[in-house]
Amino acid sequence: MTQRSATHATFAIERVYPHEIARVFRAFADPAAKKKWFAPPQEGQPDRHSMDFRVGGREVNGGGMHGGHVYVYTAVYQDIVPDERIVYSYDMTMDDVRISVSVATLEFRPQGAGTRLLLTEQGVFLDGHDNPEQRERGTKGLLEMLGRSLAN
């Protein structure tokens, strides 16, 4: 029996870069520039990478094995305001199973001569506990956490 579930979460990160907004924005908008920092270097070059930076355009990043699984990130640009805002939705699949769907918002604001970057992610995590093995591991983790909190 497959038990379906949908768990929602939101998080936000704020960064200040000592570089003008146009430069920071370009690092997201120019595929050649983005390729230099977007994917973690230790995982090597993903075997699938494409980016079409316009509203309705797609970005695909993924393939390759990480811990025995193939993860693929597929994004669609939903809103682009040059030097101000980028909104995109993306899903993550693990071995062709969709594990999450998110909306990410990037906001670029002036901060002195630099840029304040706000990243907000809102996501839904799908069918997280339909795997009994994971569920048991989750419970063990919870009990270990309890042990640590009681030991403090």
Partner 1 sequence: MLNNSPGLDQMFQALADPTRRAIVERLSRGPASVSELARPLPMSLPAVVQHLQVLEQSGLVRTEKLGRVRTCSLDSGALSLAEQWINDRRLARNRQLDRLGAFLDAEAIKEKKS
Contact set with partner 1 (CB under 8 A):
5, 7, 9-11, 13, 15, 17, 19, 23-24, 27, 33, 36-38, 40-41, 99-100, 117, 119, 121, 123, 125, 128-129, 132, 134-136, 138-143, 146, 149-150
Give the span between the Cα atoms of 54 and 150, in whole angstroms: 52
Q: Which is nearer to partner 1, 38 or 53 (CB)?
A: 38
Please report how close the Cβ of residue 51 comes to partner 1 at its closest, in angstroms: 15
Q: Which is nearer to partner 1, 56 or 123 (CB)?
A: 123
Q: Contact at 8 Å (CB) between 72 and 49? A: no
Q: Which is nearer to partner 1, 81 or 143 (CB)?
A: 143
Please report how close the Cβ of residue 95 comes to partner 1 at its closest, in angstroms: 16
Q: Which is nearer to partner 1, 50 or 134 (CB)?
A: 134
Please report how close the Cβ of residue 72 comes to partner 1 at its closest, in angstroms: 15
Long-range contacts of 23-31 (CB under 8 A, 24+ apart): 23/115, 24/108, 24/115, 24/117, 25/82, 25/83, 25/86, 25/108, 28/53, 28/86, 28/106, 29/53, 29/80, 29/82, 29/86
Q: Which is nearer to partner 1, 43 or 52 (CB)?
A: 43
Backbone angles phi, psi at 35, to 5 degrees: -60, -25
C-beta neighbour count of 16 within 10 angstroms = 12
Please report how close the Cβ of residue 50 comes to partner 1 at its closest, in angstroms: 18
